Amino acid sequence: MSTKSKLAYLLSLILLFGAGIWAASQNFWQSTPPLYAALGGEFTLNSSTGEVSLSDYKGKLVAVYFGFMSCPDVCPTALSSLSAAIRSLDEDQQAKIQPLFISVDPDRDTLENMAAFTAYFHPSMKGLSADLPYLENLTRQYGAYFRHIPMEDSALGYTVDHTSRIYLIDQEGKLSTTIPHATPVTEIISIFEQNL
């Protein structure tokens, strides 16, 4: 290799090194904001034992599910999967997770009935609710949805169409991910373990 070639090679290395330093100073590799950064946040709801706020569980992984007690299959399936995933963890891990069921049907789902309903799925699961305007704002805040749909030929009078996802809130109270309906229990366990 001639002296000229060596010099050209050395100069190109210096230029590449300089370009790398410049690019780093421009934050080209800075991570993008998390997908859920604009969603989530504090809430205060009612339970059978009094008011409950998200901040009450700071330091825990909180798993939130929006639904209603007379849901024929979607809610029981999701809550069963959530419960099975929690029960599959060791005791120390289980103690670091707080499952919450938030009813979007406060007219029919009494706080006392929700306490029994949630205990059926997991002893640490809390049943929470509020009035409809608060719930509408809260579900929007979390990117969730619900709507009461009249059913003229039913004794229930209406049903509730709603998002079926588990909203996972980290130990600092920030929404970290959502878990879609019908996610296998083994995947839910893995997601919990990654976030504990």
Domain ranges of the chain: 1-30, 44-195
**196 burial type by CB count under 10 A (0-12 exposed, 13-18 middle, 19+ buried):** middle
pTM, two decimal places: 0.81
36 pLDDT band (50/70/90 cuts)?
Answer: confident
pLDDT of residue 190: 96
Contacts of 117 by beta carbon, 8 Å cutoff, 6+ apart: 69, 101, 109, 127
Q: Does domain 44-195 have CATH number 3.40.30.10?
A: yes
∠ CA 95-100-101 to the nearest 5 degrees? 145
6 pLDDT band (50/70/90 cuts)?
Answer: low
CA distance 2 to 188: 61
33 pLDDT band (50/70/90 cuts)?
Answer: low
pLDDT of residue 153: 86
